[in-house]
Amino acid sequence: MIKLCGFPLSNYYNKVKFVLLEHQIAFEEVLVMPGQDALLLKHSPLGKVPYIQTEEGDLSESEVILEYLAARFPDKPIFARDPWEAAKERELITYVELYLELIARELYKEAFFGGTVTDDTRTRVEKLLLHHLPGFQRLAKFGPYLRGAHFSVADIAGYVSLPLVGIATQKIYGRDFLLEAGIDWKAYVGQIETRPAARRVSDDRKNYVESVRSQ
């Protein structure tokens, strides 16, 4: 059985977990924190989570894992069957992750972990996000889903990452860049959470936070 390694606060871990749950692919969760421990680096070359363990070995990078799952379980429509539609889903995932989340990630140290970010970082991240957001908006339909009327794998990426962009920008700049751009990500998240797989991911994340707090 596939082992999903990581922790339930990680958006990329939750992306893979959501897909596994959504498509009822059997898996086991293994709690692993990111780091530079030599043992971890044998499984995940940069010490990042998630990674999965299969009968054939370890595999890191959430998007690569999704591609592997789609190829290994061809009966599960992880991506749309139509090649064009599937490519548009992948395009959206790239915009969410590469142009929004990965940029906003530079703020997390201060937004979520009690550190500080430099003025240079603030300025650079603001400039990039305000450039990338209109591009994302030209692509994303929010109708109510990213591709329009139907839920897709792109929404799994949106669900786990867009809130982080909103919350981090609110904390660092006092303005939620997504809301400011007219993206009501809270309503979007509410819509996604009508799905049992999303609720499970969300409940597990909250329970994990509670368990860490009570330690």
Ligand X SMILES: N[C@@H](CCC(=O)N[C@@H](CS)C(=O)NCC(=O)O)C(=O)O
Q: Which residues bind ligand X (CB under 6 A)?
A: 10-12, 34, 47-50, 61-63
Of 184 and 204, which CB lies nearer to ligand X in the complex structure? Answer: 204
Smallest gap from residue 198 Cβ to ligand X (A): 17
Query: Residue 106's CB: how many other CB atoms inside 10 A?
Result: 18
Smallest gap from residue 7 Cβ to ligand X (A): 8
Smallest gap from residue 9 Cβ to ligand X (A): 8
Smallest gap from residue 33 Cβ to ligand X (A): 8
Of 49 and 156, which CB lies nearer to ligand X in the complex structure? Answer: 49
Of 33 and 187, which CB lies nearer to ligand X in the complex structure? Answer: 33
Of 62 and 152, which CB lies nearer to ligand X in the complex structure? Answer: 62
Smallest gap from residue 51 Cβ to ligand X (A): 8
Of 41 and 87, which CB lies nearer to ligand X in the complex structure? Answer: 41
